[in-house]
Chains A and B, each alone.
Chain A
């Protein structure tokens, strides 16, 4: 009764309006990119949620490993001087 479809998984990104970046909305299965776009439209933009849609094969995404998330992002951890709030500025100094 069940035939395995084995359609690839696609990640769907929606740009909600011009000027904003595409944001990950979810994923879906589709046999090809064109069908993924159509399904993505039907599934994620039924209420004008978007003006543009990207679909990306999930298999094409390389992700960092959650197990090493601490060490992977560690280099930025000890560099608070990269933030403007790190610096003490005398009161009364303007436009800085």
Chain B
């Protein structure tokens, strides 16, 4: 084996990034790159699970069974997105407990957008259309992020976000075309969510602390302002179809720029919410801590169940060995275990062989997530 110098490693990393290759968990990477990714992915994961709260607020009061089923599926997706992202963060060597602890103690942040309240049913539609729409605009370029596990998680998430956005748009359209009161409710929701949605892209480029380095590392592919402009350009015609207006008197097409001009964003509000002074900061984090604490018994039960079955399996194995060294298939073990084994081999064919083959042909992919334990 050849010895690899620090210089070689930096060169290899830079070359991989320059060539648009992906960095994988077991590859060497600069400490600052790792730290930036942990910060960004953790914040993203936290946003997904905190984001469940404002919408879950309306599950019990959804106007129809159809809307209720859709909303439950959406909120469940957000939990799933959080898990994909925590998994990606863990490949960088941080533990799930540590990340949650930092969220609960305020040392890591989540997107400010979730510190706004959902006052009416129309807010669920507005969140789907605008908040998820802004998220998609942000996240599609992240599918090409230089860090492999993050990029792969984003591919999965973007596919699912598309459902989120469309259900929101459809819901708003229904309200907008409904009674005058429903139309008014939809307009009110858009009025309240428009500006916070624009803030989701982060501070202007010249004030964004991490942007330049993240772009150089190809974690970020477009600047905050560029993505914000893209989002505005997408939304204006969509709002017209909805029959709703966007609450910005300065919004107008600029033929020279071939973009919509829009009014100034209240960055003071953004920074206040970020500092913890938004309408719901306290409520969101309190609820998150409570959910975590109240879920303790579920984690304990699962661990106890696993320990019990582990013991049962060991006992069964010992008993087997003590007998005549029969093959496992016909040995002891509970009926459930035998059924599970039969089910497994029926579905999987010959798992052992196939996994081995898969590993030999695609080592990088297969090991990507496994790094978390290293």
**Contact A52-B347, Cβ < 8 Å, known A24-B365, A46-B80:** yes
Q: How far is the CA of A59 from the CA of B372 in the complex (A)?
A: 10
Are A29 and B26 in contact (CB-based, < 8 A)? no
Is the C-beta of B299 less than 8 angstroms from some C-beta in chain A? yes
Interface readout for B71-97 with A: 1 if CB under 8 Å, 0 if not?
001001100100110010010000111
Identify which of B48-56, B271-279, B302-310 touches chain A.
B302-310
Interface readout for B272-299 with A: 1 if CB under 8 Å, 0 if not?
0000000000000000010011001001
**Contact A5-B370, Cβ < 8 Å, known A26-B84, A43-B80, A66-B364:** no
Is the C-beta of A71 less than 8 angstroms from some C-beta in chain B? yes
Q: How far is the CA of A29 from the CA of B365 in the complex (A)?
A: 18
Are B355 and A56 in contact (CB-based, < 8 A)? yes
Chain B residues numbered 140-194 whose CB sits less than 8 Å from any CB in chain A? 152-153, 156, 160
B153's partner among A4, A11, A26, A62 (CB-CB below 8 A) is: A26
Is the C-beta of B124 less than 8 angstroms from some C-beta in chain A? no
* Size of interface on A: residues with Cβ below 8 Å to B: 41
**Contact A9-B369, Cβ < 8 Å, known A26-B87, A29-B96:** yes
Are B358 and A21 in contact (CB-based, < 8 A)? yes
Is the C-beta of B321 less than 8 angstroms from some C-beta in chain A? no
Q: Which residues of chain A come closer than 8 Å to B205, judged between CB atoms?
A: none
Q: Which residues of chain A come closer than 8 Å to B364, judged between CB atoms?
A: 66
Closest to A53 in B: B347
Q: Which residues of chain B come closer than 8 Å to A46, judged between CB atoms?
A: 73, 76-77, 80
Closest to A47 in B: B160
B370's partner among A31, A34, A63 (CB-CB below 8 A) is: A63
B80 to chain A: closest CB distance in Å?
6
Closest to A42 in B: B80
Q: Which residues of chain B come closer than 8 Å to A26, judged between CB atoms?
A: 84, 87, 152-153, 156, 369
Is the C-beta of A2 less than 8 angstroms from some C-beta in chain B? yes
Are B372 and A27 in contact (CB-based, < 8 A)? yes
A63's partner among B80, B293, B307, B359 (CB-CB below 8 A) is: B359
Interface readout for A1-18 with B: 1 if CB under 8 Å, 0 if not?
111110111010100000
Q: Which residues of chain A come closer than 8 Å to B160, judged between CB atoms?
A: 47
Q: Which residues of chain A come closer than 8 Å to B302, judged between CB atoms?
A: 30-31, 35
Q: Nearest 7 A-B pairs (CB), nearest first?
A: A31-B306, A27-B369, A63-B367, A32-B306, A58-B370, A52-B347, A66-B26
Can you identify 19 A-B contacts, CB atoms within 8 angstroms?
A: A2-B97, A2-B101, A5-B97, A9-B90, A9-B372, A9-B373, A13-B358, A24-B368, A31-B306, A32-B306, A34-B309, A54-B348, A54-B355, A58-B370, A61-B359, A63-B26, A63-B366, A64-B363, A71-B1
